[in-house]
Structure formats: C-alpha cells, structure tokens
Amino acid sequence: MAGASRKYPMLRRSRAMWASRRVWQPRLVFWAGAICIGLISVLFAVLADRAQIAFHALIGHDGGWRAMLPLIVTPAGFALCAWLAHAYFPGSQGSGIPQAIAARHLRDESDRTHLLSLRLAGGKIALTVVGLFCGASIGREGPTVQVGASLMLQAARWGGMAQARGLILAGSAAGIAAAFNTPLAGIVFAIEEMGRTYEARTNGLVLTAVILAGLASLGLLGNYTYFGIARDTVAFASDWPLVLACGVIGGGLGALFSLLTLRITRRIRRWNRFQPLWRTLIVATVCGLLVAVIGIASGGLTFGTGYAQARGAVEGAPLPWLFFAEKFAAGLLSTVSGIPGGIFAPSLAVGAGIGSTLGLVLGANTGIAALLGMAGYFAGVVQAPMTAFVIILEMTGNHDNVIALMLASMLGYGTARMISREPLYHALSRVFIADAIRRRRAEETSEGNA
C-alpha cells in the first residue's frame, strides 16, 4: 500500500486532502455554530425588548382604561403559550437550563432530541417573546442557554462530532456569554452550574464557543455593560452591615423562591397527570391572571424582565419599598405556570429590589445596595455563588466591589443551603430525565407487545 502511494503521487495527495477534510470539517461546523449562537442571541434580545415595549405601549402610561387590559391580555397570552408549548413544542417549558443539564446526562440521541433541537430552539424564542408581549415576568437568558445548546448539538450532528456532552456545555456557555455580554460568566456558568465539575477535555470547546459567540454579538451591538457602569464603591468600615444583610436576607429569599418553585411545580405535575392539556391551560390562565393583578397593583413595574428597574436601582434610583415582594410573586407565578421563559433577569430585579429596600432601611447608598442584593438573592436562587458575583461584576463594569460581591454571594449561598438543599436547575433537570426514562420504557414495552 505504501508502495502504491509512492508510485501514484495523486493517490497520496487525495488521501492527505481527505484526512485534512476530516479534521477541518468538524471544526468549521463548530465555529459556524458558535457564531450562529451569538447572532441569534442578539436577534432574540432585540425581539424580547420590542415585545416589552409593545406591551407597555398597549397598556399605556396614563392610568386610563387601557391599564386594565392586562386582566385580559396576560392570562390569554399565558394560556396560548402553554397550549403551544404542550401541543407543538413539548420540552420548551420553563427556563431551558434544566433541559440542557438533563440532555448532558442522557446517553440516547433520541432522548436528547426531545430536549434540544432546532425546532425547540425556534419555539423557545417565539414563545418567550409572546410571553413578554403579554406581560409575563420572565427573562430570555435561560432560554438562550437551551437555544445555544440546541444549535451546538445540531452542529455536532452535521459535523460528525462525537463530544455531545462537551458541545452542549459549550453551547450553553456561549448562550450566557452572548445574552449578557459576559464572557467570563459564561465560562464560570458552564463549570459551576452546567457541569458542577471541571472537565479539562471540554475547556477548549467552551473557550472557543464563548469567544466566537461573543465576537458575533460585539460585531452587532458593540461592547456594552448590561446594567451600565456602577461607579460607587463599598466602604467596609460603614457598609459591612449592608453586605451581611444583603447576603443573608437575599440568600434566604432566593432559597424560598427555589423551594416554592420546586414544591408547587411537583404538585401541579401530579394534578395535571390525568388531564394534562386542560389542567395545564387552567394553571397557566390562573397564573396569568394573578400576574396581571400584581402588575396593575405595582403600577406596571413587575411586568416583563425587570431590566429597567434593576438598572435604575444600580444607577442609584431607589425602587419602591415592596417592589421586591411584588416582583418575587410575579416571577414565581410565571415560573410555575409552565410557559417558556427564564428566571435570570427577574431574579436580578428582585435582588435589586431587596438591596434597594435594605439600603433605605440602613441609610446606605442604594446603588451599592442593589448590587449586593442581586448577588445575595441570585446566589440563593441558583446556588452558584461564583456565577452570581462574576456575572454581576461583568454586567456593571466595576471591579472595585469584587470582595464585597463575593462575600454577599457566599453568604447568600450558605444561607440558601440551610433552607433548600436542592439546587433549583438540577432538581428541575431530574424531571426531564425521569420523563425520558418513562418514554423509553413505554417504547420498549410497545415494541415488546408488537
């Protein structure tokens, strides 16, 4: 065979070209997938922002009869999203991060397809945008993780790549990085929340995906900080009570949100078991009506992601005293309703409200208090303290408060662990894993009977 290669140089060159193609084709497909994640994340962000603007334009700002429209629009929108998710996009419900985590644990390709696919990615984007247009208290960042993981897994299929687990991790990290313009947070999120362990074999995939998705996002939006620039700095001599309060109280409320979400979701699933479609629609409609009532009572502040309120708090504009409680309730109802939508942005808004209120009580700077409240509450909700403080550092562009944010995050995490031992995303991921196992057993039973 070697003699044939020496005798026929064209054969040797064709083999070299084929070997080169086998090496470069998967890489090109992977790079293209990462760039697509960045581009689609930007498109998703634009659509989400316009949906919120359209909703607020619909209900008006003059306090007239249009302010009552959410009593119709919001429950109807919740019911529509729940029906579409149940009938046409099963697996798109909720945040999307639990689906990506579950897909990493599943071995069978068909099981992964039920959670991560191009069809689900399109449905996730569309239904999240519809939910925001109807006033749901949801975010787009968690859904971007499922979209990114779906795109990367599809790229793996097209490119003939076998590292499904690593590629799901890379797609998830790229989604977070592009959604917030926070590349470091994307990497930390992949290690701490998605994987829960560091896998050296996937570090190159994660870094490359984050870089390419970030470059695509920067090319369209430029370099920006999600919440602007936080210019105030924590003075430990006078602000240490604020740091402790934001960490402990924020973490405790974050754990309460996680605990209530898990318990209510499990009860709803048991109740829905016998009439899944109709009872799903009933739950979604009731939750939507309650979200509308809370939104009207708050003057419209709790509708949508809460981005504007959180950014205002970070920049020093105090939020109403009870904003955090109203946003907490609206976010909880939106989460357990079963419609597609994430909890990242609403959680940051709740945390900003907690910090703002504590800042007013303690006579501290409300901008700093909002940052610390976000760190404590978010760490309590997801029980991922590194992700919490890194993402807030990158979103506010001020690294002077790194020690204070780390302390608030760790206090929030420690408090949450005493209240709720189950990390929210991983507990929810087990629901999807259990569904996959039941589906597999049902298929095996039907094949056996046949």
Residues 215 and 309 in one domain: no
Location of structure tokens 């005493």: 418
SS3 424: helix
Nearby residues of 8 by Cβ (< 8 Å), 6 or more positions away: none
Residues 243 and 383 in one domain: yes
CB atoms within 10 A of CB 33: 26
Of the three residues 221, 245, 261, the one that is the final residue of a domain is: 221
Structural contact between residues 340 and 124, judged by C-beta atoms closer than 8 angstroms: yes
Is the pLDDT at 243 greater than 80? The verdict is yes
What would the pLDDT profile of 360-394 be if each residue is shown by its tens digit? Answer: 999 888 889 999 999 999 999 998 888 888 888 88
Residues 198 and 269 in one domain: no
SS3 106: coil
- Does 157 reside within a domain? yes
- Where does residue 222 fall: left (phi above 0), alpha (psi -120 to 50 degrees), or beta otherwise? left
Percent of the chain with pLDDT over 70: 87
In this structure, the dihedral spanned by the alpha carbons of residues 297, 298, 301 and 302, taken in order and rounded to 10 degrees, is -70
What would the pLDDT profile of 301-344 be if each residue is shown by its tens digit? Answer: 999 999 889 989 988 888 999 999 999 999 999 999 999 999 98
Dist. CA 355–CA 368, nearest whole Å: 8
Dist. CA 95–CA 329, nearest whole Å: 17
More confident: 67 or 445: 67
Residues 323 and 389 in one domain: yes
SS3 270: helix
- Where does residue 182 fall: left (phi above 0), alpha (psi -120 to 50 degrees), or beta otherwise? beta
Residues 206 and 345 in one domain: no
Count of positions (residues) in the chain: 450
Residues 205 and 241 in one domain: no
Residues 198 and 339 in one domain: no
Host domain of residue 378: 236-433
Short-list 380, 314, 345, CA closest to 131: 345
Residues 55 and 91 in one domain: yes
Number of domains in the chain: 2
Residues 255 and 198 in one domain: no
Residues 211 and 103 in one domain: yes
Q: Can you give the pLDDT at residue 374?
A: 94
Q: Can you give the pLDDT at residue 23?
A: 60
Sign of CA dihedral 334, 381, 98, 193: positive
pLDDT-based confidence at residue 54 (cuts at 50, 70, 90): very high
CB atoms within 10 A of CB 67: 16
- Does 442 reside within a domain? no
Q: What angle do CA 127, 133, 146 make, to 5 degrees?
A: 30
Structural contact between residues 291 and 135, judged by C-beta atoms closer than 8 angstroms: yes
Is the pLDDT at 1 greater than 50? The verdict is no
Residues 211 and 174 in one domain: yes
Is the pLDDT at 265 greater than 70? The verdict is yes
Of the three residues 191, 221, 251, the one that is the final residue of a domain is: 221
- Does 43 reside within a domain? yes
Of the three residues 162, 196, 221, the one that is the final residue of a domain is: 221
Q: Mean of the per-residue pLDDT values for the chain? A: 85
Q: Can you give the pLDDT at residue 247?
A: 95
Residues 173 and 44 in one domain: yes
More confident: 314 or 202: 314
Rounded to the nearest angstrom, the gap between the alpha carbon of residue 79 and the centroid of all alpha carbons in its chain is: 22
- Does 387 reside within a domain? yes
Alpha helices (H) along 134-235: 141-159, 164-180, 183-189, 203-221
- CATH of residue 72: 1.10.3080.10
